[in-house]
A = this chain, B = another copy of it.
Amino acid sequence: MKFERSNCPITNVLDLLGDKWTLLVIRDLVLGKRRYQEFLASPERIASNILAERLDRLLAAGLINRRAYQKNPTRYEYGLTKRGRDLEPILEAILTWGKKQYPGTKRFPKVQRPSD
């Protein structure tokens, strides 16, 4: 096992998730978003190139998976893997602290999907 910066678990998590966007993509997936346009539509306005790069990284890291819901051109839907869903306690801890420190912030609601 080769570590980027150190063998501290926190450091290794930050090497993967330590930026302003990656956890927001995870949040969107937890909320039920599945498609590219849905991620782009979130109020933080992620840039499309950043989103594409993050989806690649999360796929490579095994936190998400995707399935083609259409061919020619192939279009994908994304979902969390077990590994990705295991991040929920981290998101919950952040949410708890954040709501307390930033009065006026609110947990976003789950997305309604027609297919459900």
Stretch at the interface among A3-11, A32-40, A48-56, A71-79: A3-11
Contact indicator per residue, chain A 73-96, by CB within 8 Å of chain B (1) or not (0): 000000000010011011111111
Contact indicator per residue, chain A 14-48, by CB within 8 Å of chain B (1) or not (0): 11001110011001000000000000001111000
Q: Is A106 an interface residue (CB 8 A)?
A: yes
| B20, A18: Cβ atoms closer than 8 Å | yes
List 6 tightest A-B contacts by C-beta distance, closest first. Answer: A9-B98, A9-B105, A6-B43, A1-B104, A13-B98, A18-B20
Known contacts A12-B105, A18-B19; 16 additional CB pairs below 8 A are A3-B102, A6-B43, A7-B105, A7-B106, A8-B44, A8-B105, A9-B94, A9-B95, A9-B97, A9-B99, A9-B106, A13-B94, A13-B101, A18-B23, A19-B19, A19-B20
